[in-house]
């Protein structure tokens, strides 16, 4: 495995994460040692990005164990399962949350032993597996995606689907990291990504840290750049992909996909299989989270509009499969048809 670009979480007798609300100004480390803190970190975007939400929630189940380890085994198991339900309610769209928590729940349900110590070991092992699998998947995404990137290319990305959104290698940024490590000359255009500005705050920070050439733009500038032939490829992440390839991702992704289609620019979604929800046929079944109006109305604590203003604030939108050129996954670059077959 190559050098990891960013380390947004680690387990060292406890769960530690970077508080992403504080970036790029400060690197603040949080210890998430109660289920309340884990829930709050996910809910309030201290950590975000579908694969990272998966990893943090998995370790969150270990946190639940430690917080309650004085309970008798059966009560402990029930408490952990209740905490899993709480974590599942933190955010509705990112599939990795459910994927990871379902795997952790299975460990609890399958456990027949009578040693709490053994249950703890198994929970830590499964959380570690989820973490390592994500690291591996993201690196494979990087390797497969790298084949799409030619020397001298200008790549547009939206939001942060980088190391900070995953175990450390990123999804949409993984091909960029691999291409850079292999010495290709590339340039990244970063959409600032209103309202929470994950592009400006996080993607810029990551690319800066990894010395990759980039330019920050406002979301409404991407079309103009495309019309000037200054974008060669668009790569975005995903929060949930349905069996037919319809993709929920950060609000603004759909507009980019339409713009890319109009300008005949390839549009790729990079995501590990843990983001694919094989239980749903189409994107219409995906719940789109509506977030607090103050995310739009206030910036740095100050109103940017009249206080009574009514706003619409969906965190995600839905991009239909026919606007997506392909999916960059750890199994290779897939077309819509391939996804159905994978899901069995």
Active site residues: 239
CA angle 157, 297, 25 (to 5 degrees): 55
For 323-343, b/e burial (b = at least 16 CB within 10 A) is bbbbbbbbeebbebebbeeee
In sequence order, the 6+-apart residues with CB closer than 8 A to the CB of 97 are: 42, 50, 53, 54, 57, 87, 88, 90, 91
In sequence order, the 6+-apart residues with CB closer than 8 A to the CB of 29 are: 16, 17, 18, 19
Does 215 help bind a copy of itself (rule: CB under 8 A)? Answer: yes
Which position among 166, 167, 193, 325 is part of the footprint of a copy of itself (CB under 8 A)? 193
Interaction with a copy of itself in 11-40: which residues (CB under 8 A)?
24-25
Identify the bridge partners of residue 10 per DSSP, sorted by sequence position: 16
Does 153 help bind a copy of itself (rule: CB under 8 A)? Answer: no
Does 105 help bind a copy of itself (rule: CB under 8 A)? Answer: no
Which position among 28, 29, 147, 218 is part of the footprint of a copy of itself (CB under 8 A)? 218
Give yes or no for a contact between 93 and 287, defined as CB atoms under 8 angstroms apart: yes
- By beta-carbon proximity to a copy of itself, the closer residue of 141 and 315 is 315
Does 259 help bind a copy of itself (rule: CB under 8 A)? Answer: yes
Give yes or no for a contact between 190 and 208, defined as CB atoms under 8 angstroms apart: no
How far apart are CB 344 and a copy of itself at their closest, in Å?
Answer: 30
In the shown chain, the binding pattern of residues 289 to 318 toward a copy of itself, with x for contact by CB under 8 A and - for none, equals -------xx-xx-xxxxx-xxxxxxx--xx
Does 154 help bind a copy of itself (rule: CB under 8 A)? Answer: no
Estimate to the nearest angstrom the gap between the alpha carbon of 206 and the chain centroid.
14
Which position among 255, 280, 333, 336 is part of the footprint of a copy of itself (CB under 8 A)? 255
Does 254 help bind a copy of itself (rule: CB under 8 A)? Answer: yes
Identify the bridge partners of residue 190 per DSSP, sorted by sequence position: 157, 216
- By beta-carbon proximity to a copy of itself, the closer residue of 94 and 318 is 318
Which position among 71, 216, 280, 333 is part of the footprint of a copy of itself (CB under 8 A)? 216
Does 205 help bind a copy of itself (rule: CB under 8 A)? Answer: yes
Does 267 help bind a copy of itself (rule: CB under 8 A)? Answer: no
How far apart are CB 228 and a copy of itself at their closest, in Å?
Answer: 9
Identify the helix (H) or strand (E) that includes residue 328: strand 326-329
Tell me how many residues contact a copy of itself (CB under 8 A).
53
Cα–Cα distance measured from residue 307 to residue 84, given in angstroms and rounded to the nearest whole number: 37
Angle between helix 95-110 and 50-67 (nearest 10): 30
C-alpha closest to that of 206 among 164, 265, 147: 164
How far apart are CB 181 and a copy of itself at their closest, in Å?
Answer: 21
Interaction with a copy of itself in 49-78: which residues (CB under 8 A)?
none
Cα–Cα distance measured from residue 17 to residue 7, given in angstroms and rounded to the nearest whole number: 8
Cα–Cα distance measured from residue 110 to residue 41, given in angstroms and rounded to the nearest whole number: 28
Estimate to the nearest angstrom the gap between the alpha carbon of 263 and the chain centroid.
27
Which position among 42, 58, 127, 197 is part of the footprint of a copy of itself (CB under 8 A)? 197
- By beta-carbon proximity to a copy of itself, the closer residue of 312 and 341 is 312
Does 322 help bind a copy of itself (rule: CB under 8 A)? Answer: no
CA angle 105, 111, 113 (to 5 degrees): 155
How far apart are CB 11 and a copy of itself at their closest, in Å?
Answer: 28
Which position among 204, 249, 325, 329 is part of the footprint of a copy of itself (CB under 8 A)? 204
Length of the chain: 344
Query: Where does this chain bind a copy of itself (CB under 8 A)?
Result: 24-25, 189, 191-195, 197, 200-201, 204-205, 208, 214-225, 227, 251-252, 254-255, 258-259, 261-262, 296-297, 299-300, 302-306, 308-314, 317-318
């Amino acid at each position: 495995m190559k050098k990891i670009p960013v380390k947004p979480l680690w387990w060292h007798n406890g769960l530690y994460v970077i508080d992403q609300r504080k970036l790029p100004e400060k690197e603040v480390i949080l210890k998430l040692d109660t289920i309340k803190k884990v829930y709050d970190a996910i809910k309030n975007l201290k950590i975000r990005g579908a694969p990272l939400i998966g990893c943090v929630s998995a370790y969150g189940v270990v946190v639940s164990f430690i917080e309650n380890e004085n309970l008798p085994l059966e009560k402990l198991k029930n408490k952990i399962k209740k905490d899993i339900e709480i974590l599942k309610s933190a955010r509705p769209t990112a599939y990795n949350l459910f994927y990871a928590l379902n795997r952790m729940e299975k460990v609890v349900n399958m456990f027949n032993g009578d040693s709490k110590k053994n249950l703890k070991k198994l929970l830590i092992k499964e959380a570690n597996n989820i973490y390592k699998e994500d690291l591996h998947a993201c690196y494979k995404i990087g390797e497969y995606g790298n084949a799409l990137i030619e020397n001298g290319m200008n790549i547009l990305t939206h939001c942060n689907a980088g190391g900070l959104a995953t175990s450390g290698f990123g999804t949409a940024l993984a091909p960029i990291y691999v291409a850079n490590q292999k010495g290709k000359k590339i340039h990244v255009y970063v959409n600032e990504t209103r309202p929470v500005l994950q592009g400006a705050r996080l993607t810029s920070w990551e690319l800066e840290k990894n010395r990759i050439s980039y330019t920050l733009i406002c979301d409404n500038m991407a079309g103009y750049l495309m019309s000037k032939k200054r974008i060669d490829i668009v790569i975005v992440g995903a929060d949930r992909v349905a069996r037919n390839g319809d993709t929920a991702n950060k609000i603004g992704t759909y507009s980019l996909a339409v713009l890319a289609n109009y300008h005949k620019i390839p549009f790729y979604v990079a995501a590990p299989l843990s983001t694919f929800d094989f239980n749903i046929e189409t994107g219409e079944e995906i719940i789109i989270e509506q977030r607090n109006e103050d995310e739009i109305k206030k910036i740095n604590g100050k109103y940017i509009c009249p206080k009574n203003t009514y706003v619409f604030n969906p965190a995600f939108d839905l991009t239909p499969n026919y606007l997506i050129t392909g999916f960059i996954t750890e199994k290779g670059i897939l077309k819509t048809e391939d996804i159905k077959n994978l899901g069995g």
